[in-house]
Amino acid sequence: MSEMPIARTYNQGHIPRKYTPGKRRLSIYWSWSYPWEAQRDIAGIENRFSTMTEVRNVLWPAYETPEWGRDQFLQGIAGTLELFHRSALRFQQIAGEVTGHPVAVFQRVDQAGYSLPIDERILADTDTLLVFGLDHLPAGLDATAGEIEAIKTWLKREGTCLLVAPHHDVGFTDDLKQRQVEYKHHGDTLVPRQQRFSQYTRSLMKALEIPVINQWGLRPALVKGTRDIAPLTAFRDLDKPGLLNKVPTLNFHPHLPHYALTRDDGKTVKLLARQPIDLDRPHPFTDAGNTEFNCLLWLPPNEKRAGDILMVDSTNFTTLFGGTESLENFWKNIATAK
């Protein structure tokens, strides 16, 4: 008999994980309000996720099997949000196998309307916290003073790691012609001319004095004649945590953010990798002479914190756009980095 999938649970409290020497406990925090995102007016074309019906239409026939039908799966924006959750399952599986601990998953406001700020309930049994910044800017979600204080206190604990992952900022300008250029550059018809993320992680970065801003939505270059993403420009001599061990590439995604440094003293932020851009598709960023964007940053411990801070896009932890051995090695490195 084939092995049956494990049973799924829902609507219950988190069970704290006991500390195990050498085994990290990972937690994912989706920064969105699920109800706010899921109930956006679909007559509006900006700053919202696609509906599942739109996904099915654009990606036809990928989702035309019975398990994606309306009697089995949500067809509105909520269905697309669930695709994000499902696409992170492989990362959760691998991280769980490596660490021996299940990956806990939290949402700022969940499907049932329960709010959960980042506080001791999340942080007490977490060694690595991944904050996936997929809340749209108009939602106006800011980290509260209590959350900031809780995270700062947690980062004073040896061995902690905060991974901050704001997504792209497409079409931030009022210039409609530029918005169209950006849209043609990334080429994803499911992303509107303006889609701006993430107020929550931006407020978190400001409070934690992370001198970075997420900009643009840039399409990575491919290896000529293939569908394979071009290798990273990696600065391995700076990679003290070993995040890029056996990692020549990250995940392909048509619209990835550039993590621009707002201040660079050479000590606060270590740029570990840049991603080559598709130069065959015009874009204001490449028109200015840029050929790569910052995709992996490391902020080592300092006098204010004992923990590390990392920045990399959240799509590198999903399988919506495929997955590779290199990406799985990256997950293992994240799960075991000290």
- The per-residue pLDDT for 110 is 97
In this prediction, the residues of the chain whose per-residue pLDDT falls under 50 are none
Classified as helix, coil or strand, 34 is: helix
Q: What is the pLDDT of residues 198-240, one digit of tens each?
A: 999 999 999 999 999 999 999 999 999 999 999 999 999 999 9
Percent of the chain past pLDDT 90, that is, above it, reads 92
- Return the half-sphere exposure (C-beta side, CA atoms, 13 A cut-off) of residue 253: 24
- Return the half-sphere exposure (C-beta side, CA atoms, 13 A cut-off) of residue 111: 11
Residues 6 or more apart whose CB falls under 8 angstroms from that of 321 comprise 251, 252, 253, 254, 315
Strand-strand pairing, 233-234 and 270-276: antiparallel
- The per-residue pLDDT for 2 is 60
- The per-residue pLDDT for 264 is 85
- The per-residue pLDDT for 319 is 84
**pTM of the predicted model as reported, rounded to 2 decimal places:** 0.96
SS3 content of the chain, % helix, strand, coil (to 5): 30, 20, 50
Please give the backbone phi and psi of residue 61, each rounded to the nearest 5 degrees, phi first.
-100, 30
